[in-house]
A = this chain, B = another copy of it.
């Protein structure tokens, strides 16, 4: 999908402006109409703020209609195969298109319970979640009172809108909607970055199956060519990085023991801020290692 520029949007005729933003918030041209007179927007953050303000100042029944206009979450899963390219990219990160029968049924029941209690669909910005964190989010929210839950639903709608806007519009400023997960392997035995180390990123699941969600090999910088997760939110949840260091040292003829004291090293950690920058390095020798929440230079 080619991007619009903010200048284009600012300069567009009103009908084009409204059409362009039609899908940022599900089926709701009235939002774009409401903010049309505020053009030109200084930046994409200003545009998003205007959208949020328009929704927040709408009458309660309009807000509720907006919430109800969102597809049923379970419904959306059911249609996962036939989704448009745009929507498809969103729920994927929580692996919703790869749910087992049992998981699928559990999500359907959950939605049912939610709709029964609140009279609206359960809305969540799915790409900020793993299955575990979504279950937790759901369980927490099901206990809310209706008023709180309307506010929460709008917050999720704002998050979804921000992600769509980020994809749709190019501007000088950036929306803070992306997180980042990166790693680095430093060979402290040799005083250099460690190239050629196979790295797996596994999403851990309390219920259901853990699954490998990224594979990479470290380059001459000891880093992976691209971040393990980047350009999108890092789904909240628990992960395990697995580093194949036994093979690395064996290939370099470093004498260790047989079997080697360290071979595949698992590093288990949790992501709590989907928009955070997470750097999880490994400092390693054949007999020791360290890991920590690190920091890569800001770009």
Bound: A174/B283 CA distance, A: 31
Bound: A296/B221 CA distance, A: 8
List CB contacts (< 8 Å) of A219-278 with chain B: 221-223, 236-238, 240, 256-266, 268-270, 272-273
Q: Is the CB of B290 within 8 A of A186?
A: no
A287 contact set on B, CB distance < 8 A: 188-191, 292-293
A261 contact set on B, CB distance < 8 A: 191, 269-270, 272, 293
Q: Is the CB of B272 within 8 A of A188?
A: no
Chain A interface size range:
35 or more
Bound: A190/B285 CA distance, A: 9
Bound: A193/B298 CA distance, A: 11
Secondary structure at chain A's binding surface: helix, strand, loop or mixed? loop
A298 contact set on B, CB distance < 8 A: 221
Q: A266-B268, A270-B263 are in contact. Are A288 and B295 (CB under 8 A)?
A: no
Chain B, residue nearest A238 (CB)? B259
A297 beta carbon closer than 8 Å to chain B:
yes
A292 to chain B, nearest CB (A): 3
List CB contacts (< 8 Å) of A186-220 with chain B: 186, 188-193
A258 contact set on B, CB distance < 8 A: 272
A289 beta carbon closer than 8 Å to chain B:
yes
Counted per complex, copies of this chain come to: 4
A105 to chain B, nearest CB (A): 26
A283 to chain B, nearest CB (A): 6
Q: A290-B289, A290-B290, A295-B186 are in contact. Are A260 and B268 (CB under 8 A)?
A: no
Q: A283-B288, A292-B283 are in contact. Are A297 and B262 (CB under 8 A)?
A: no
A40 beta carbon closer than 8 Å to chain B:
no
Q: Is the CB of A238 within 8 A of B263?
A: yes
A240 to chain B, nearest CB (A): 8
Q: Mark A162-194, 1 if CB is under 8 A from B, else 0.
A: 000000000000000000000010101111110
Q: Is the CB of A265 within 8 A of B263?
A: no
A288 contact set on B, CB distance < 8 A: 188, 191, 283, 290-293
A296 contact set on B, CB distance < 8 A: 297
A265 contact set on B, CB distance < 8 A: 268
A71 contact set on B, CB distance < 8 A: none
A294 beta carbon closer than 8 Å to chain B:
yes
Closest 3 CB pairs of A and B: A191-B287, A288-B292, A257-B272
